[in-house]
Structure 1
Amino acid sequence: MAAPGISSQAFLRMLDQRTVRFGRNGNITADSFRKSFLEWEAVRFEVDKLCQEDHFNCPACSPDMLAVSVDGNRKHYRFKSAARSEEKAIFDGVFITNDDDVARFVDYVHTSTSHVSGRGVCGGQWSAAHETSQKSSGKTDEEGLELAVCRHGVLLRALNMFRGEIFAYPLYLQKQMACKPVTFFAMDVACKYWPYLQRVTEKCPELQDLLNMRPFLSVFHAKAHDFKCEVKWSGAY
């Protein structure tokens, strides 16, 4: 936990080396260590709940949050064939939002609005999100994670993506962040997402408050967008 770059196996090898150095015998069983560590984390989580500790809140941003950045990472996928436990998850809904809640919200937005499928393309070259997309028919179940972070890099909220990077996912996270006074909402395709949000709020007036945030485009995509505008202005496009 103190050094995220070190795997549990590397940590155990380091402990074994300490054991040899100080003249002790025996090795630590990896399975026993992992189970003990998870049980310790579960107990610590319950203690933090009693103490009303909020780990997914940035002290530097509280109570007014200048900016929230949302983006998807499709490398955090899970295969349909992966083994799963039938036990209720200890940390269910703590950081990664409940999948059923997200699915209901996505279905509500899609049934309330009638958008044409298409990718959000920025600068004529880089593409990110869809307006709508069907669930993948491949070997993966969760296709990745959509995450919201503050400008200090503190994790705030996340959800599992089942349909790629559709606009309804950052919309859900933005709705979750609306309980805090957020000034800027940053996205890599904010220039495409904000018109989508405006169209959604026409059909879903309860989401009108989300328009109080200001859209913010990242430097990389803003430069690409400006470059395309300059090329168009010069007549070369």
Structure 2
Amino acid sequence: MNAPVLRRLAHQTPRSLTVSSPFLRALSSSSSSSAAAAAASSRPLQQQHRHHHPRTMSTTSAAPAQARARFSQGSDEASLSSTLETLLGEGRWALVNDGEAVERSFKFKNFAKTWDFMTAVSLQCKTHNHHPEWSNVYNTTFIRWTTHSPKGLSGKDLKLAMICDALAKDFGEIEAPPAAEGEAVVSCGIRGLADKAAGTAGDCCTPKK
């Protein structure tokens, strides 16, 4: 190559590089598409993290509502409510039958002790002209106090329930730990005996003509 040509080439301005090859154009287009797809796929994840934060669950459960007492007509409800609160607070008696009765079971060393206790309770029933719904299996007796006429809890029910507690101590009751909230106070079997007896006893509280 002669000198004039070399001098002309040396003084020419370099041309900018352009993508002229079909392969390079396709590669560039593919890279752009991949970047767009990656950006699009990341959006749902970002939205998911924004809108689906785990909620904090409360560890405090609602306490079960206590049954409301239903007192027999003519009762001094304010006075009886205070007595009932004291009775239930000891954790042995339970308010049952839609608030119209209190019940619990008593356990003693043997049948003789249990029968002596029931005899003492029956004497108190005669004195107060009132009776329980009750049953007995060996060394355990179940007692439910309620008034059938007028229907509901009466002063006699609560007074005799407290008398039962005092007599049980005199006859050496074997005390079980107080029932936790929601636990059954007595077994279904011995309660069922009293239910069956009460169902077949007939009308016991209506004055006879």
Confirm or deny a common fold (TM above 0.5).
no
Classify the TM-score, shorter chain. Answer: under 0.3
In terms of Rg, which structure is larger? 2
Point out the structure with the larger helix share: 2
When normalised by structure 2's length, the TM-score is 0.21
